[in-house]
Structure 1
């Protein structure tokens, strides 16, 4: 038997430097689009197969035999709805603005109502130019991926993400109970039982994120929201850290062919060793000073500096860190719930940074507040060196601490929460500091114009008009969550 040989021409040498910028840009664009297209296609095919298997298992149940045709017909309608769902284009014109409920350095959060069905959501907007100039692209992607992949009852639900030429948008569930910080401002100190309840729920939330491979890195009362039943959900993953290629800043530098730039100085704690500024000496006797600190607390939350009270020291010293950094933050929150203020609170953020870095000398329990031994031991086991920190081997060892004896971590949502927000409507924002936020209407179209102006603006701007910097980093950002249900 004779063998056949083939002669192939040598592979052309790839010399991207000889092509123009448009050719290189289009090559990267096509590569990214192809990767995202096939990745989404495979994921959706798997999801449809899983739904089909689930329906098949239901049809095999003898108890459901009388409803067999009904279930099969319903599953077909569900898949038709899913295909229509994929074809539906999301945009600002689909929503009408209710009010602004949150504001940060890079964008804002608005309460919106969907025009089609009247449902209420929280819409987070991020400005693309700010994301690029402040080198936040890895964090934007990590936040999107963490929320998109999470299906936990302890994490705020992301329904869809979309974008236009200037901004990124994340449509999430609206949690009307406000945040844990508002409760701390109102009640100042929690009982040990109430603290135990919220701490247990936060543990479940942090554990859910860690299982997805993300470090939150910004666990603080402001990011712990309360739903209609008063149970918590973890939100705001803008500082979260993932471990994939597109969660690394080098990925975007290579993508845009930019030279490495030093991080913005706005995000480096300044004057960590300064001792010339007076600190707050927090005790029960100077409650007026504590209240002044609390009032300024909300202002700091909207600033570029942020609120460093809960950050683990390993994040500030540029040494290696891992998932245990989030458990330090929980320890400081438990401290605040029981004592009335965070353990490293100071009048200025850079003093807080200094106290955290030197926590061995600045961490103490006030003499005039006595904690039970289990509570004090739990806090000291979490606010300590990362090598010895409780939780470094997983959430299970925190759950096993004597402070949580008797807690059913799997049944927390079946327990009535200590505080159930009394709501008057589906757009009740009484538990948000909306009076401190500018209520401008320059983001969403008014309800009476049907969004025609926005539609026209959107249709007139295409992807082809975008520069590589405004297009390539945000490829694959779009996400849609299809809510499956059965009769």
Structure 2
């Protein structure tokens, strides 16, 4: 029955995609024809523009049929490791573009019942076109692993930033919390919930702008059931242990002991975070030396309180109009200079990530994407449609013009 369900889903997705491609192709032709009709160009030039679009459409379809495999990438430094696999810097051999490759072991995911989580992660990345979340460029699989090829954000994560800086000023915190609000809002608009929002999953690009990542625990929801979510089942301790993120497992660390490294500090924070938020009424205290403004304290209280009084239950606009954000220009956040600019020396720089040792030398599999990829997950990558005035389209997961 599982095989039948998987085959049914693959066929439905295939024909849904085909029909969407035909519709999109007709729409692109119609847009170009309207643009030509309203411009003062000769008949010969009009014919050439139409032919150029048709050539790009043909190239677009050719690229979509190309099967990507791990051999198309040069494997570089490991920048993350978790229970299901690792995240590694990689370079596409053909284009020399740099990406982050998330490599997930199939047997582990199947044994732990995580297939639906991975499918939801891939679908969200493919569906949501937003500059607030990490972009997906390719998805494929071989006999042993699933692969997500995503943009590489060399600025590291906000957790590492917090460890290095110890404390952020209110203005810096306001900037990144505001960008977090936009990121969460963008996935809620597509009827997904993240369920694992934490500093580790907020990544910085080379300019210091933040993007939301790691959707391994995200859940697709019908908009009619969005308000009926049971808070207590959203993230239990078992889900925390089996999270798809790449920050490792939860070690047995003595609560009173002092950590010796940033990694131990990170693990200590992860181990205790749920107990301290869940029991915020007993544990939340504002130290005098923090010098928080009344508006900041009010926002914290109104985000931690019981759901019937919680800010944001009526949508992101409730948070956006809070007095603490009064100087934030929401539609310009990603255009302005970031509140913090990370040190990044070149496209291969990994200084803003924790160091991981190689367990085994990287040995790329020699097989491309085969039938198994369709049976288990029904995955396929999509390509960026051709647009007027652009060159050969690159493979992508959404309509955004994507460049790493």
TM-score range, shorter chain: 0.7 to 0.9
Aligned to 1:428: 349
Aligned to 2:325: 404
Matched, 1:91 2:51: no
Residue 439 of structure 1: how far off its partner (Å): 2.6
Distance in structure 1 (CA, Å) of the matches to 2:48 and 2:342: 39
Distance in structure 2 (CA, Å) of the matches to 1:26 and 1:136: 17
Aligned to 1:331: none
Structure 1: tracts of 5 or more residues without a match: 1-23, 245-262, 270-276, 281-287, 301-306, 309-348, 446-453
Aligned to 1:190: 168
Q: Choose from 140, 143, 148 the match for 1:170.
A: 148
Aligned to 1:127: 105
In structure 2, do the counterparts of structure 1 residues 152 and 462 end up closer, same or farther at CA, with 3 Å as the change threshold?
closer
Q: Choose from 24, 27, 30 the match for 1:50.
A: 27
Matched, 1:296 2:264: yes
> Deviation string for 1:229-254 (max 9, x for gaps)?
2111110001111126xxxxxxxxxx
Distance in structure 2 (CA, Å) of the matches to 1:425 and 1:131: 35
Residue 441 of structure 1: how far off its partner (Å): 5.6
- Is contact 1:229-1:417 (8 Å) kept? yes
Matched, 1:480 2:382: yes
In structure 2, do the counterparts of structure 1 residues 86 and 413 end up closer, same or farther at CA, with 3 Å as the change threshold?
same
Q: Choose from 3, 8, 18 the match for 1:41.
A: 18
Q: How many residues align?
A: 365
Q: Choose from 10, 35, 59 the match for 1:81.
A: 59
Distance in structure 2 (CA, Å) of the matches to 1:196 and 1:353: 23
User: Aligned to 1:44, what secondary structure does the other structure show?
Assistant: helix
In structure 2, do the counterparts of structure 1 residues 407 and 383 end up closer, same or farther at CA, with 3 Å as the change threshold?
same
Q: Choose from 314, 334, 359 the match for 1:413.
A: 334
Q: Choose from 137, 141, 151 the match for 2:129.
A: 151
Matched, 1:438 2:349: no
In structure 2, do the counterparts of structure 1 residues 63 and 219 end up closer, same or farther at CA, with 3 Å as the change threshold?
farther
- Write out aligned runs for 1:22-37 (5 A): 27-28=4-5, 30-37=7-14
TM-score (normalizing by structure 1): 0.68
In structure 2, do the counterparts of structure 1 residues 384 and 83 end up closer, same or farther at CA, with 3 Å as the change threshold?
same
Matched, 1:204 2:182: yes
- Between 388-397 and 366-375, report the one with greater CA deviation: 366-375
In structure 2, do the counterparts of structure 1 residues 386 and 117 end up closer, same or farther at CA, with 3 Å as the change threshold?
same
Aligned to 1:114: 92
- Is contact 2:193-2:221 (8 Å) kept? no
- Is contact 1:179-1:223 (8 Å) kept? yes
Greater radius of gyration (CA): 1
In structure 2, do the counterparts of structure 1 residues 265 and 34 end up closer, same or farther at CA, with 3 Å as the change threshold?
same
- Is contact 1:158-1:481 (8 Å) kept? no
> Deviation string for 1:208-228 (max 9, x for gaps)?
011011111111111111112
Distance in structure 1 (CA, Å) of the matches to 2:285 and 2:2: 56
Structure 2: tracts of 5 or more residues without a match: 223-234, 242-252, 390-404
Q: Choose from 181, 184, 202 the match for 1:224.
A: 202
- Is contact 1:163-1:478 (8 Å) kept? no
Which of the pair has the greater relative contact order for Cα pairs under 8 Å at 6+ separation? Answer: 2
